[in-house]
Amino acid sequence: MKKITLTLSLSLIISCNFIRDKSKIESVLKELSQDYQTKVTYKVAAELSGGKNKKSIEIFLNKSSILEQYDDELFIPASNIALRLLKNNINFDIYTIKIKKSNDKFFEISYLNKYLLSLQHKQALFNKIDSTILSRHYGKLYPHLDSLLLRKKVTKDNIIQEFNDYDSIYGKPNQIITHGYSFGNIAIDNALKKYSASFILIKREKEDSKMSIYINNSNDKIFSIEPRW
């Protein structure tokens, strides 16, 4: 009898939470459908694991000409979709984004809530880096470098010179067109480091360019800046 009561109580809680979240989810999905000009659907699930109720949501996007522009970089819209859900207080333990490609195969990626929260907390830092690049005050990036992993390899003048050389090839930066985000582990100096990364597409005077910026999660400092990914 206790087991039946527990199951009924859990089902009731899940049902109430789903009804409360449903309108928020459908509102965001309507925006996504307009932004990407495609059909967007979803499904939610919940399971009791380790004594805790874990909720997950899957977002399905049909193929569209807008999504096809990302080609093999569909992690860019996927990461932004997951972050948009979180920013709209649509809280799940796992967010899975599935995007149908032009060949009818699916691109699929999942994000844990705690990692999305980490990315969200770094938005101010990423925005500061963006504004520094657009203003071309490249020397201001130096204080944001990881002193152990990057400063010992480059100087402030190195950074300024490298960015200026890049500008001379592709033209001055005018606008950040889009962002994509990622996170994971990377081996540096024989040790695994947790990172968060911002991938940006920059509109320039001559030719648009791509750049990736990796942040060491342990101190929120830049340990790698790569002109392309």
**Rounded Cα–Cα distance for residues 135 and 139 (Å):** 11
Q: Which pLDDT value is given to residue 18?
A: 56
d(CA 22, CA 15): 10
Name which of 8-12, 59-63, 145-149, 186-190 the model is least confident about. Answer: 8-12
Q: Give yes or no for a contact between 212 and 198, defined as CB atoms under 8 angstroms apart.
A: yes
Mean of pLDDT values over 91-107: 94
Whether 200 has a pLDDT exceeding 70, the answer reads yes
The pLDDT tens digits for 54-64 are 899 999 999 99
| pLDDT at 136 (0 to 100) | 95
Which pLDDT belongs to residue 1? 47
Query: What letters, b where the CB count within 10 A reaches 16 and e where it falls short, cover 82-114?
Result: bbebbeeebbbbebbbbbbeeeeeebebebebe
Cβ neighbours for 95, distance < 8 A, ≥ 6 positions apart: 56, 57, 59, 82, 85, 86, 110, 111, 113, 116
Q: Report, as an integer, the average pLDDT of 85-100.
A: 95
Q: Kindly report the number of other CB atoms within 10 A of residue 145's CB atom.
A: 21
Q: What is the per-residue pLDDT for 98?
A: 97
Higher local confidence (pLDDT), 195 or 15: 195
Least confidently predicted of 67-81, 84-98, 143-157, 191-205? 143-157
Q: What is the pLDDT of residue 146?
A: 86
